[in-house]
Structure 1
Amino acid sequence: MESNKIETLLEKYDNGESTLAEEQELKRYFTKENVPEHLDVYKPLFAYFKVNQEEVFTKQLPLKTQPKSVLKWISIAAAVVLLLGFYFSDFNESQDLGTFEDPELAYLEVTKSLEMISEKLNQGAATVGYLEAVNKGTATLNYLNELESATQIIFKKQKQ
């Protein structure tokens, strides 16, 4: 009679439907000496669980907190060095922007720069012109979608 009960508990255990109390009962049953031959395959499994439950980790783990504080001070020192570098680099550089003495030469340079900017903007505007064709295609596609939905409504009404 007990063998039938253990077999039903094993079936529940294999399906993942057993409770903790039922698993404890299985562990107790399989740690006994006399287990039927057809259930011998489960004996090493539950013996492993019992041995594994009794294991204790006794090794000391070294905890090192020193590198974190050193890393913090190194990062603070690096930030200070960067700030000092930026501060002193501004004093040494002169703010010569390349001014022109001759107004006509300045005017020619400005017009040359503006022509270059205009040329690049026109090239960009030419590539944007293709978007108009895409917009037309999208409008046509939307029209076809509306036509298809209206057609489906008509055919649904005819079927009813």
Structure 2
Amino acid sequence: MEWNKIEALLERYFEGLTTLEEEQTLKTFFQGTNVPPHLESYRSLFGYFAQAKQERMTPPIQLKSRRNVFIGWLVAASVVVMLGIGFMTWNSPSDAPQALAQTELGTYDTPEEAYAATQEALAMVSGHLNTGIESMGYLKEYENSKNQIFKQ
């Protein structure tokens, strides 16, 4: 084959204008032994295509999923919780319902007793509320001092 025809095909190849038959002609020419020295640099290009065509990919490596590990931890945690509940149930006193029935539930026999208990509870709440209000007095004093310093 004439070298100028190969050079013309190379020009068309690099411009993207060649047909499949013309590309096959170039591949077979550069795989042969009769390649001129000034076109020798293109031999490796077309030789690469032949070599790459025969390469095969290995199957991908299967990685262990993190989801399986997460599910394992969930199962282990649920087993620990169930064992804890079972242990607490096993060691609880068997007379717990009777003890609950015997405790005082806040019922009074006479209205006077209920009134006295209510007064005691309200006095306790009032005492705690007054303690909180006294603490607010300190905050008011702090606010006044801050306003004097920053002149607002």
When normalised by structure 2's length, the TM-score is: 0.44
TM-score where L is the length of structure 1: 0.43
Q: Which structure is larger by alpha-carbon Rg, 1 or 2?
A: 2
